[in-house]
Amino acid sequence: MTERKLFLLPGDGIGPEAMAEVHKLISWMNEQGAGFTTDEGLVGGCAYDAHGQAISEDDMAKAVAADAVLFGAVGGPKWDSVPYEVRPEAGLLRLRKDMELFANLRPAICYPALAASSSLKPEVVEGLDILIVRELTGGVYFGEPKEIIDLGNGQKRGIDTQVYDTYEIERITGVACELAKTRSNKVCSMEKHNVMKSGVLWKEVVSDYHKRNYPDVELSHMLADAGGMQLVRWPKQFDVIVTDNLFGDMLSDVAAMLTGSLGMLPSASLGAPDAKTGKRKALYEPVHGSAPDIAGQQKANPIAMIASFAMCLRYSFEMIEEATRLETAIANVLDKGIRTADIAAAGDSPVSTSQMGDAILEEYKALSA
Ligand code: IPM
Ligand code: MG
């Protein structure tokens, strides 16, 4: 039997509650012979409390060695004043950087049952299926210098550096075009070439790389601010959006909310395929944060976490059938009107995190029978 090595990092806030629901699925799939092994580590505030780091060297090594990492969420007011280098988010950023997870896939799908929960009109979001491909290991998140300097005259200066090299833009363009081929074959690249040199290069490299390698994929360009506006005006015009780290962070939150709730959106962060094995390093995480205000109360929506596990089945283990079945299970449960508080309408009585997880597991079992 193939061993499938998962490393779980539930993290802080609602992370552990959401991860518990994935655990139930893994256990059941293992009873059917899926062969997952799981190990668990600490990341974020809980890791800081345990050993003064946002992630330990030991857990970093385990993440690198795993076939896939499942990540919950990090952060909370409790750690607002810890030193910058060991703040909870540093654990996530280190995982992305050290594992070279340059391609972040953030699908925004509007389940029919939830069209009414969106803040936009149902006809604008119904049937929405777009994919944001966010560059994840470059740009202003990691560029140097990154510092606050004392100017000595009572003033300080905060500096972040936006920097992109050709190869970074080319490889993310490649991922976006490859994925577009499996969907509606359209890529829209977003940057701000009207004010940023990195935007000028971004646009140029995307165009060249596309022309040389993917002439059959339909490519368009949009300024990122206009892209944000178009995303809330008529999102269905998009298929795949490719953009840099910071714009991708913002645009994916916008896209997430189109679908009804941040609690619905999964993501996959992938590295380059290994030259020998063809396997990619990978981390799967919900787009939502740790939601400390509702943590520990069984109010969180576990769907983004469970859908992230579905992406893991698809991209890390080629378990395409199982992935699709799990996504169908989520859609069916929503069709039945089962709702956590974040997606409940007036008059619905919301279910708990674990009730939602149980409902999805039962539906998954039924679909597997
Ligand atoms: C995300 C988050 C992270 C980011 C934070 C937690 C560092 O907002 O994954 O979108 O900014 O990338
Ligand atoms: Mg974000």
Say what the pLDDT of residue 284 is: 98
Atom of ligand 1 nearest to the CA of 89: 7
Catalytic residue among 39, 129, 253, 358: 253
Average pLDDT over all residues of the chain: 96
Looking at domain 1-107+261-369, its CATH superfamily turns out to be Isopropylmalate Dehydrogenase (3.40.718.10)
Give, using CA atoms, the residue closest to atom 5 of ligand 1.
89
Say what the pLDDT of residue 1 is: 58
> Does ligand 1 have an atom closer than 6 angstroms to the CB of 92?
yes
Buried b (16+ CB within 10 A) or exposed e, 112-123: ebbbebbebeee
- Residue 208 annotated in active site: no
Is residue 118 over pLDDT 90?
A: no
CA angle, corner 332, sides to 326 and 334, nearest 5?
110
Token pair for 36? 């997952």
E strands in 137-279? 147-150, 156-159, 186-191, 218-223, 240-243, 266-273
Token pair for 219? 């490519």
Number of Cβ atoms within 10 Å of the Cβ of 168 = 19
- Residue 249 annotated in active site: yes
Mutate to test the pocket of ligand 1, among 71, 249, 287, 305 (most ligand atoms within 8 A of CB): 249
> Does ligand 1 have an atom closer than 6 angstroms to the CB of 132?
no
User: Cα 18 vs. chain centroid, distance in angstroms?
Assistant: 15
- Architecture label for domain 136-258: 3-Layer(aba) Sandwich (3.40)
Say what the pLDDT of residue 230 is: 98
CB 214 within 8 A of CB 177: yes
Atom of ligand 1 nearest to the CA of 96: 12
Mutate to test the pocket of ligand 1, among 92, 94, 251 (most ligand atoms within 8 A of CB): 92
Report the length, in residues, of the chain. Answer: 369
Q: What is the pLDDT of residues 178-201, one digit of tens each?
A: 999 999 999 999 999 999 999 999
Give, using CA atoms, the residue closest to atom 9 of ligand 1.
287
**pLDDT (average), residues 246-255:** 94
The residue type of 58 is: D
Q: Where are the domains of the chain?
A: 1-107+261-369, 136-258
* Antiparallel, parallel or unpaired: β 36-40 and 218-223: unpaired
Catalytic residue among 48, 111, 141, 315: 141
Q: The whole model's pTM is what?
A: 0.95
Q: Edge-to-edge strands of the sheet including 4-11? A: 36-40, 4-11, 68-73, 280-286, 266-273, 103-109, 129-135, 240-243, 186-191, 218-223
More confident residue, 261 or 207: 207
Q: What is the pLDDT of residues 60-71, one digit of tens each?
A: 999 999 999 999
CB 125 within 8 A of CB 118: yes
> Does ligand 1 have an atom closer than 6 angstroms to the CB of 249?
yes
CB 264 within 8 A of CB 339: no
Atom of ligand 1 nearest to the CA of 267: 9
Q: Using the mean position of ligand 1's atoms as its centre, give its distance from the Cα of residue 68 in Å.
A: 19
Q: What is the pLDDT of residues 127-166, one digit of tens each?
A: 999 999 999 999 999 999 999 999 999 999 999 999 999 9
Q: What is the pLDDT of residues 289-326, one digit of tens each?
A: 999 999 999 999 999 999 999 999 999 999 999 999 99
